[in-house]
């Protein structure tokens, strides 16, 4: 949508570019995905402080077989994972470790 103010300044709204943070959580809410089917599990992760952290964890956990959505939130330390079937906690721990963070456990 484009609009002009009285000073003729053009303001244009655009959708965010895909891949903005490199994480699979961009534009995806794992809780919404879980409502469509699958298993939703929430994990507590220590060490996340920013969007880059969220993206790193999301990328590693998304690579696990059966994972359909991941949402990592640095401010709470919570990582919500939607998968086709229950995941092995040790596999999730390995993915989080690979990203450089610590899986505390299920939230």
Dump pLDDT digits (tens) for 4-45.
444 444 433 333 333 344 444 444 455 554 456 799 999 999
Q: Domain coordinates of the chain in residue numbers?
A: 20-106
Burial environment of residue 23 by CB neighbours within 10 A (0 to 12, 13 to 18, 19 or more): buried
List pLDDT tens digits, range 36-91.
679 999 999 999 999 999 999 999 999 999 999 999 999 999 999 999 999 999 99
Q: What is d(CA 44, CA 35) in angstroms, rounded to the nearest whole number?
A: 21
| CATH dotted code for 20-106 | 3.30.70.100
- Helix, strand, or coil here: 15? coil
């Amino acid at each position: 949508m484009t609009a002009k103010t009285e000073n003729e300044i053009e303001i244009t709204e655009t959708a965010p570019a895909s891949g903005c943070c490199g994480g699979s959580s961009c534009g995806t809410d794992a809780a919404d995905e879980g409502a469509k089917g699958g298993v939703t599990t929430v994990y507590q992760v220590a060490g996340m402080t920013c969007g880059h952290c969220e993206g790193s964890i999301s990328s590693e956990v998304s690579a696990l077989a059966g994972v359909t959505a991941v949402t990592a939130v640095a401010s709470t330390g919570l990582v919500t994972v939607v998968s086709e079937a229950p995941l092995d906690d040790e596999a999730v721990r390995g993915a989080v470790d690979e990203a450089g963070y610590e899986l505390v456990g299920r939230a």
